Chains A and B, each alone.
Chain A
Amino acid sequence: MSFQIFLQHLVNGISLGSLYALLAIGYTMVYGILRLINFAHGDIFMLATYIAFYSITSFLLPWWAAFLIAIILTSAFGIILERAAYRPLRSSPRISIMISAIGASFLIENLGILIFGGRPKAFPIAPIFSHVVVIGNVSISVVTMIIPIVAAIALIILNYIINKTKTGMAMRAVSKDYDAAKLMGININYIISFTFAAGSAMAAIGGILWGLRYPQLIPLMGIMPGLKCFIAAVIGGIGNIKGAVLGGFILGIGEIAIVASSPALSGYRDAFAFVLLIVILLVKPTGLLGQNSAEKV
């Protein structure tokens, strides 16, 4: 493999990794606070692409307005999802809340098929995104370059919110100790809603970029990325935002590496994430950056 081809693959890997990282953050934030795998997160991601799609094609909005609307509506949807499907079960056994998550995911997918139709749709791409830039001998489309940049900006903003604002401090407090945070006068419901909104916004950004990169929309498109990004969050150490980003990059670059290394293995691309998950769970169940927590009786 020549150096150019290597660079080409690396660029693709980083861009895929950024997409995974954006989606994985939503999982890790929700898990950190509620100890819940939000199975419907992948479907929120799907919704964002469809909202952007319809804003552009049916409402003829310019792409930037469509993207903004998609992000806002998706955040709102994340809040609604939490209110409707998770809040009533907060004191129930964890299996019930997980089944509720699965049910919500199932419902959104089927509603998607009902409303959007099962036939694939082509995401409209503004000409500035499809432009191809040639640097040296590596040709990169603008989207591939934009993805890591947008992801980095989103991550910096999120990092600022979590570490520097009062809401962020409350979020960290809730994830450390739910009950103690409540006793300290933190409005738990507000914090949880905020977490879902922020996670969904990240998923929406990821979804729109995903649509630009892989412009085929189907209502079930969220399932696989959703599962893989949950795995990315576990690999990095669930509940840890830096870990989710790390996991996303490991997964993205690893997948591209598999496809690049030999065409015979490319069919196993989707299995890579799961194999990695099982290895991690066996070797270091808390994930790469996760902290150990002993189970108390």
Chain B
Amino acid sequence: MMRKKVIQSLLSIAAVIVLLIVLNSFLSSFQTRIFNLCGIYVILAISMNLINGFVGLFSLGHAGFMAVGAYTSALLTMSVQTKEMNFFLEPIAPWLLNVHLPFPIAIIIGGLMAALAGALIGAPVLRLNDDYLAIATLGFSEIIRVIFTNTQSLTNGALGLNALPNIGITGSPKEAIWWIWGIVIFTVVFMVLLINSTYGRAFKAIREDEIAAEAMGINLFKHKMMAFVIGSFFAGVGGALLGHLMGTIDPLLFRYLLTFNIVLIVVLGGIGSITGSVISAIVVTIAMEVLRVLDGVMHIGPLVITGIPGTRMVVFSLLLMVVILFYQRGLMGNKEFSFDWFKKMKSPFKTKKA
């Protein structure tokens, strides 16, 4: 049984890789960019789902961790010339000027810095519960943003960083898809393994009933901390990728509206479902682009409707409200995709496993 599952999983990964090869060869560069953005949002949504959905800690600090990852990776990969060009108001700190690392290492360091930030923030904050935790993590992510706005010689302050190197070692646009979706596959596999491990079971126990979990001998703080740090690591990696994809970052990008976007994705997909997060991240990201039509001029037959800029976001916020009010489980609830679904279709008399 176990072996069959491994084979099935490997086969699906192979299928995804084939799909990526196909997509990479025929998508236009704009479409590839959107597709890459989908991948980044998948990473971000899954990392938030780990904290909010599986451990049940309502954290709103994602934008802050993304900022840490994005800035770290950007500063590590930018060449000396680009840095000097960027920091024209106040020179960059000398120890940072000559640091130049290859992209993969920079991404990992970006994630680790975000994880470190997560650990530092988690230590005091994770003792709090629901509402207080939400507002404290939100507060911390705002503090991170305010610090980044004010440390001129380190982050270039409100001006932000421009001309970030492209994703990948050679910097060719065709390479980005492999890096991003490679990390997506790694993230998904890692999360699935984590959720099904003993740690994952402990996470779910904490989500269901904290007091009962503690009574069963689960170390609450240790497990919460672990989920929080892992979640912030992937948030940092996602933030770093986002920075490199967009090519420019500034502190305003990492306002808490960004966190809300990810909350939207997680809620639509179903809180506590990796499959839901993946589907919802892809659908929402593509829909956000497709619905740009609403902001411009529409031609429906002879009708010409001039859209008002901002309609798109209203549609999304309405969608969030409708889902939370009438269909709280989201797309997938807390179910996951599995190959057993196909089996179920064939034989309705499924034997129950112990």
* Complexed CA–CA distance, A85 and B320 (Å): 11
A227-B142, A271-B147, A274-B140 in contact; A98/B132 too (CB < 8 A)? no
The residues of A that contact B125 with a CB separation of less than 8 Å are 278, 281
A274-B140, A278-B124 in contact; A110/B314 too (CB < 8 A)? yes
Q: Using a CB-CB cutoff of 8 Å, which residues 244-297 of chain A contact chain B?
A: 267-268, 270-271, 273-275, 277-278, 281-282, 285, 295, 297
**Interface pick from B24-32, B218-226, B305-313:** B305-313
A104-B321, A111-B314, A278-B124 in contact; A99/B143 too (CB < 8 A)? no
Which one of A37, A88, A297 lies within 8 Å of B135 (CB-CB)?
A: A37
A102, B139: Cβ atoms closer than 8 Å: no
**What 1/0 mask marks residues of chain A from 31 to 43 whose CB sits below 8 Å from any chain B CB?**
1000111000000
* Complexed CA–CA distance, A114 and B267 (Å): 24
Majority secondary structure of chain B interface residues (helix, strand, loop or mixed): helix
The residues of A that contact B328 with a CB separation of less than 8 Å are 92, 96
Q: Using a CB-CB cutoff of 8 Å, which residues 166-220 of chain A contact chain B?
A: none
A99, B138: Cβ atoms closer than 8 Å: no
| B134 CB-CB contact with A under 8 Å | yes
Which one of B131, B139, B271 lies within 8 Å of A94 (CB-CB)?
A: B131
A234, B132: Cβ atoms closer than 8 Å: yes
A268, B317: Cβ atoms closer than 8 Å: no
Majority secondary structure of chain A interface residues (helix, strand, loop or mixed): helix
| B336 CB-CB contact with A under 8 Å | no
Which one of A89, A98, A100, A104 lies within 8 Å of B58 (CB-CB)?
A: A98
| A103 CB-CB contact with B under 8 Å | yes
The residues of B that contact A106 with a CB separation of less than 8 Å are 260, 264, 313, 317, 320
What is the minimal beta-carbon distance from B248 to any residue of chain A, in angstroms? 21
A281, B310: Cβ atoms closer than 8 Å: no
Interface centre among B143, B256, B311, B324 (most CB of A within 10 A): B324
B146, A107: Cβ atoms closer than 8 Å: no
The residues of A that contact B256 with a CB separation of less than 8 Å are 223
The residues of B that contact A285 with a CB separation of less than 8 Å are 128, 132
Which one of B134, B260, B309 lies within 8 Å of A98 (CB-CB)?
A: B134
A271, B320: Cβ atoms closer than 8 Å: no
Q: Using a CB-CB cutoff of 8 Å, which residues 24-62 of chain A contact chain B?
A: 31, 35-37
**What 1/0 mask marks residues of chain B from 142 to 155 whose CB sits below 8 Å from any chain A CB?**
11001101100000
Name the residue on A nearest B261 (C-beta).
A106
What is the minimal beta-carbon distance from B277 to any residue of chain A, in angstroms? 15
| A147 CB-CB contact with B under 8 Å | no
Name the residue on B nearest A273 (C-beta).
B139
| B211 CB-CB contact with A under 8 Å | yes
The residues of B that contact A231 with a CB separation of less than 8 Å are 135, 139
B135, A118: Cβ atoms closer than 8 Å: no
Which one of A100, A114, A227 lies within 8 Å of B138 (CB-CB)?
A: A227
| A146 CB-CB contact with B under 8 Å | no
A234, B324: Cβ atoms closer than 8 Å: no
B320, A274: Cβ atoms closer than 8 Å: no
* Complexed CA–CA distance, A127 and B136 (Å): 42
Which one of A227, A274, A281 lies within 8 Å of B132 (CB-CB)?
A: A281
Name the residue on A nearest B56 (C-beta).
A95
| A156 CB-CB contact with B under 8 Å | no
| B96 CB-CB contact with A under 8 Å | no
Q: Using a CB-CB cutoff of 8 Å, which residues 76-129 of chain A contact chain B?
A: 85, 88-89, 92, 94-96, 98-100, 102-104, 106-107, 109-111, 113-114, 118
| A230 CB-CB contact with B under 8 Å | yes
* Complexed CA–CA distance, A223 and B146 (Å): 15
A113, B313: Cβ atoms closer than 8 Å: yes
* Complexed CA–CA distance, A277 and B138 (Å): 11
* Complexed CA–CA distance, A270 and B146 (Å): 7
| B130 CB-CB contact with A under 8 Å | yes
Q: List 20 A-B contacts (CB under 8 A).
A: A85-B321, A92-B328, A95-B130, A98-B58, A99-B324, A102-B260, A106-B320, A107-B318, A109-B317, A110-B310, A113-B309, A113-B310, A230-B135, A267-B149, A274-B143, A275-B143, A277-B139, A278-B139, A281-B124, A285-B128
9 smallest beta-carbon distances between A and B, as pairs: A274-B139, A107-B317, A267-B150, A271-B146, A110-B313, A103-B320, A106-B317, A114-B310, A113-B310
